[in-house]
Amino acid sequence: MGIQSLTKVLGDHCPNAIKSNEIKNYFGRKVAIDASMSIYQFLIAVRQDGQQLTADSGETTSHLMGIFYRTIRMVENGIKPCYVFDGKPPTLKSGELAKRLERKKEANKKLEEAQEAGLSSLSKFLAWTIQFPSCNVFYLCSGDMPNVDKYSRQTVKVTKEHNEECKKLLKLMGIPYVEAPCEAEAQCAALAKAGKVYAAASEDMDTLTFSTPVLLRHMTYSEAKKMPISEIHLNKVLEGLQFSMNQFIDLCILLGCDYCESIKGIGPHRAVELIKKHKTLEGVINNLDTKKYPIPEDWQYDEARELFRNPEVLDPNDLEIKWKDPDVDGVVSFLVREKGFNEDRVRKGVEKLSKNLKAATQGRLDNFFTQIPSNSNVSTKRKLEDKKDTTSKKTKPNGNRGRPKSGSKP
Amino acid sequence: MFEARLTQGALLKRLLDSVKELVTDANFDCSETGISLQAMDNSHVALVSLSLRSEGFNPYRCDRGFSLGVNLNSLNKIMKCAGNDDIITLKADDSSADSLCLVFESPVNERVSEYELKLMDIDQEHLSIPETDYDATILMPSAEFQRICRDLMVVSESVTIDISKDEIRFTAEGELGTGNVKLKPTSSIDKPEESITIELGQTVSLQFSLKYLTNFTRGTPLSEQVMLCLSDNMPLLVEYKMDIGYIRYYLAPKVGDE
């Protein structure tokens, strides 16, 4: 999933790029959320006793539960979410997808085995307790239950119906969504880049490779986890690595992405070193000891690179993203009548939605004033400050709003 | 070497009082010209900017610019140990400051107390605030502004400020009802501190959070008059002027759906 060990690379080379923030500090922000990723998370995480939540008819409702309550949580915190759904997968991803399918099959098989093992050990145990009724019951726990849980999570698949139901719910809730032509992360990144939203929210690190200026992780996690949101800024990532965007894309391909194979034996550390030294993937290939590190046969790195640079997305400027009043009766009839949700809770939730979407949102100072890059080690480097400030401002793309400190013209 | 001696120590107490609710940690930037501080609250909605000129201190000495990173809560605790009439001296070693020394001298007896506050490394985001020609500038008694904010807080958590040529109107709408306060420009020769003036380029109507505004009015004891500067779609500026410098608060407006 995403880019292999990119988080580690960022942690090592540009810790400044990652900031943790509480969710309540994101009020007033519009955020594009990778829906497919979130739905997948909900199907895995929203569970009771290890089982997915289901309606009376036996259909899964974990995804609707997740979308409904987590969206309300965001709206309550003043965030304006916009969901982005996956379109068709890019052809380059077929290899990766085939691998995932294989893993799912494997997990399915193991799940059955684990269930059987659990059953057989259970029946053995029952026979045994009849013989020794006073024995300790802890034995039951050592069955194969954790494995059943683990494998059943691995078999989770987001189906078309799941997606359609979520879209229907979002529409009723008045939350906008976008259907991406291809990868959702790429569309999220395009929206953020065009300034339609403040950031892209996804767990997938390749959203950064699709050049979103800001990536938010853990946005759709449950409240109970108390997980702070981590905010990653692309410009600081590039600054920290001292890479251009193209070099960063090359690095991601070298680390291992969903679209082509990577070179065996090259880990995060070596990948950064190689790109630093040779600048481009071509440079790396030409200088690599191919005996030690065999390059995959007809390696489609160039296609992958093109996909990251110019992904297939809808033009953000043609999209209209609007938050509307929720359709209370619609939501109730869908969630309560069709899916068996608790009516009181649903009504309360919808009430929160309409209240928060109407309220005027608090603006932020960062929208008005420009930030002067902070100098750490101020005390020792103070003398250089004036000089530093003016030079860093010149390199800033939106520096025209700032005021130069000592009469120098931008 | 940095040293600043302030004869009215109470001023420093009041200043600290007006900042500490908004920010917890801040850098005091000391230079030859004086001491300044700029800090935003956690959610980046409000900013406080404080400036004290070197002439206000006697004596003032600062050989080179440097920053004192201070936890305001801790500083406040220490400041509580100073008497209201005490003369306060701040001292620090500018080349390797890891603590700030505060000396409180009582003017009546020979009591001298000395405290050392450990400093912190604070990585703060500095904003550059452009000079703005505001659409509307109001001068009014600071106590009056404080009262309006406190009163309207009863009704709602936000207030709309409408300014026309001859009237300032503060309106709040909430679940229990509505409230509004109207002020007309007045001038009083005997008591200039009670006058209200409006300087208007064009009419303005903006909405702000009362929670932040009441927070700002902690600056009331610093000055008889408060200045409010507003422009459409710009942060509000609230300024309390003192003999020795100023404290300015900026607050981003609330925005309706675009």
- The structure's pTM equals 0.71
- Residue spans of alpha helices (H) in A93-241: 94-131, 145-154, 160-173, 184-193, 206-209, 234-241
Binary contact (B65, A361; C-beta < 8 A): no
CA distance A378 to chain B (A): 7
State whether residue B153 sits within 8 Å of chain A by CB.
no
Listing DSSP states for B183-219 in one string gives E--B--SS-GGG-BEEEESS-EEEEEEHHHHHHHGGG
d(CA A290, CA A278): 15
Q: Does A24 touch chain B (CB under 8 A)?
A: yes
Q: Do A365 and B252 touch (CB under 8 A)?
A: yes
The 10s digit of each residue's pLDDT in B104-118 is: 999 888 899 999 999
**8 Å CB contact of A27 and B43:** yes
Over residues A127-145, the mean pLDDT reads 48
Task: Report whether pLDDT(A172) > 90.
Answer: yes
pLDDT in tens, A219-270: 888 777 778 899 999 999 999 999 999 999 999 999 988 888 888 888 888 8
The pLDDT score that the predictor gives to residue A23 is: 86
- Angstrom CA distances, A266 to A59, A144, A226, A256, B163, stand at 44, 37, 35, 10, 66
Average of per-residue pLDDT values in chain A: 80
Instruction: Determine the residue of chain B that is closest to A80 in CA distance.
Output: B257
Helices (H), B91-245: 142-152, 210-216
Give pLDDT, residue A145.
61
Q: Which range has the worst mean pLDDT, A183-187, A222-226, A325-329, B183-187?
A: A222-226
Residue type (1 letter), B161: I
3-class SS letters over A224-270 = HHCCCEEEEEHHHHHHHHCCCHHHHHHHHHHHCCCCCCCCCCCCHHH
pLDDT, chain B, mean: 91
A363: how many CB neighbours lie within 10 A of its CB? 24
Specify the length of chain A in residues: 410
Residue ranges of domains in chain B, CATH in brackets: 2-118 (3.70.10.10), 136-251 (3.70.10.10)
pLDDT at B53 over 70: yes
What digits encode the pLDDT tens for the residues B85-134?
999 999 998 777 789 999 999 988 889 999 999 998 887 778 888 888 99
% residues pLDDT > 70 (chain A): 81
What pLDDT sits at residue A120?
65
Q: Given a cut of 70, is residue A382 above it in pLDDT? A: no
Can you tell me the mean pLDDT for A124-144? 49
**CB–CB of B183/B168 below 8 Å?**
yes
Higher-confidence residue of A130 and B224: namely B224
Nearest CB among B125, B129, B254 relative to A361 is that of: B254
Mean pLDDT over A189-216 rounds to: 92
Of A65, A39, A43, whose CA–CA distance to A339 is shortest?
Answer: A65
How far apart are the C-alpha atoms of B154 and B138, rounded to whole Å? Answer: 24
The Cα A54–Cα A39 span in angstroms is: 15
Give the pLDDT mean for B218-238: 94
State how far residue B137 is from chain A, nearest Cα, in angstroms: 19
Contact: A383, B64; criterion CB under 8 Å:
yes
Contact B223/A at CB under 8 A: no
Q: Give the per-residue pLDDT at A383.
A: 35
Nearest CA in chain B to A371: B127
- Lowest-confidence segment of A61-75, A263-277, A349-363, B35-49 by average pLDDT: A349-363
pLDDT at A128: 53
